[in-house]
Amino acid sequence: MKPSSSSRKRVAAAAAAGTLAAGVLLGVPTQAAPAPPSPAASALTAPPSPEVAERLVDLLGDRAPGMYLDDDGEFVVTVTDDTAAQQVSAQGVQAKRVHRDAKQLRDIRATLKEMGIPGTSWWVDPVANQVALGYDTTVTDGELETLQNVTDAADGALRLEAMNGDLSALAMGGEAIYSSDFRCSLGFNVTNSDRSAFFSLTAGHCTDGSLARWYTDLPDPSDPDKNLLGLDLDSSFPGDDYGLIWTGSEAQDWGMVTLGDGNVRPIYDHGEAYVGQSVEQYGSTSGLLSGEVTQVDATAVYRGEDGEDDVVEGLIGTDICSQKGDSGGPLFAGNTALGMTSGGVILCLFPTDSWSFYQPIGEVLDEYGVELY
């Protein structure tokens, strides 16, 4: 479910409304820090630029079903014919011939979406030129048999992968940023174009369905403005998974993400994730974790606690082991924002068995008409 058509109007209204009630900025925001370090001090080693490979995939359409970063640090574009391979090679990018085009893989994804079995997720694996289908421990024997039949009928274009745990959105009561219902993690601080209003982003399943206040510490019933971060302004969940918190007309310091133990990382830009990319995540439960992007444009069917299944599409997947309370926290590569924690499987037995999903940040910035600062 996309935000209502009034999303941008709400941002504009917040800009016109001035500051929040007295005390709104008394609490220290999750990413607050005394001063931004220089980019060179904290940037990770920059990977090769993916822009050329991404443009080739867009240009070639269904003949280029995917791209990824290989073990040698080279971008690879998969192609289905020699002409496409020549076009890719002419741009200095490695081409790999595969059998299945993007439409074949897209049709399989459409079938899985129509089935909509909760506790499943799916994505295109560009390396294997397949659709991968994960299923968690809540999937019944009958449902698994159905999935196996679909896999068999796909003639190698679909594979099953077991997830050791239950796939769910990762909100819970606790610490970090608080409402009356949840503890989540702050993602990124953003502002409108003229810097007249400031906001924080988090997961939509945290802000969904209310106009709650959010705090940087446990709410104090005797003083409703103590440690107040801001007010829920908008939410998109399911379908997407992002929410907007209005924090007033004062900037929340710089566009930092915390690394724990007083360390911070300045965020200067946002980008699109790609398979094979090295990334980091910070969450209020797990702290700083690192891993690799394993999926892009993934779909997850969360089994909702209210009995309704929540389908979220267009997600980034990683092999990071997120936990409850990490929801909304930032996913980043060096000084580049990529997304915010949405869900995953919290029982992570080994690194290769870890599953975490993230809402891409670019879509959120575009929808609300805001920018990182």
Task: Please indicate, yes or no, if residue 83 is contained in any of the structural domains.
Answer: yes
Residue 323 sits in a domain whose CATH number is 2.40.10.10
Residues 254 and 331 in one domain: yes
Residues 352 and 263 in one domain: yes
Task: Please indicate, yes or no, if residue 112 is contained in any of the structural domains.
Answer: no
The domain of 330 spans: 7-31+168-372
Residues 183 and 295 in one domain: yes
In sequence order, what are the residues at sequence separation of 6 or more whose Cβ sits closer than 8 angstroms to the Cβ of residue 360?
A: 272, 273, 314, 315, 316, 338, 339
List, by residue number, the catalytic residues: 205, 241, 327
Task: Please indicate, yes or no, if residue 240 is contained in any of the structural domains.
Answer: yes
Task: Please indicate, yes or no, if residue 63 is contained in any of the structural domains.
Answer: yes
Task: Please indicate, yes or no, if residue 152 is contained in any of the structural domains.
Answer: no
The total number of structural domains in the chain stands at 2
Residues 275 and 368 in one domain: yes
Q: Which of 97, 129, 151 is the last residue of a domain?
A: 97
Can you tell me whether residue 350 is helix, strand or coil?
Answer: coil
Q: What angle do CA 357, 200, 297 make, to 5 degrees?
A: 25
Task: Please indicate, yes or no, if residue 134 is contained in any of the structural domains.
Answer: no
Task: Please indicate, yes or no, if residue 106 is contained in any of the structural domains.
Answer: no
Q: State how far the Cα of 167 lies from the Cα of 119, in Å rounded to an integer.
A: 5
Task: Please indicate, yes or no, if residue 119 is contained in any of the structural domains.
Answer: no
Please list the rounded mean pLDDT of every run of 10 residues in the chain (373 residues). Answer: 53 51 34 39 53 95 97 95 96 96 97 94 96 94 96 96 83 62 88 90 85 82 83 93 89 75 88 96 93 96 80 96 92 96 82 85 97 89
Residue 103 exposure: Cα atoms within 13 Å on the Cβ side: 5
**pLDDT tens column, 119-175:** 999 999 999 999 999 999 999 999 999 999 999 999 999 999 998 888 887 654 334
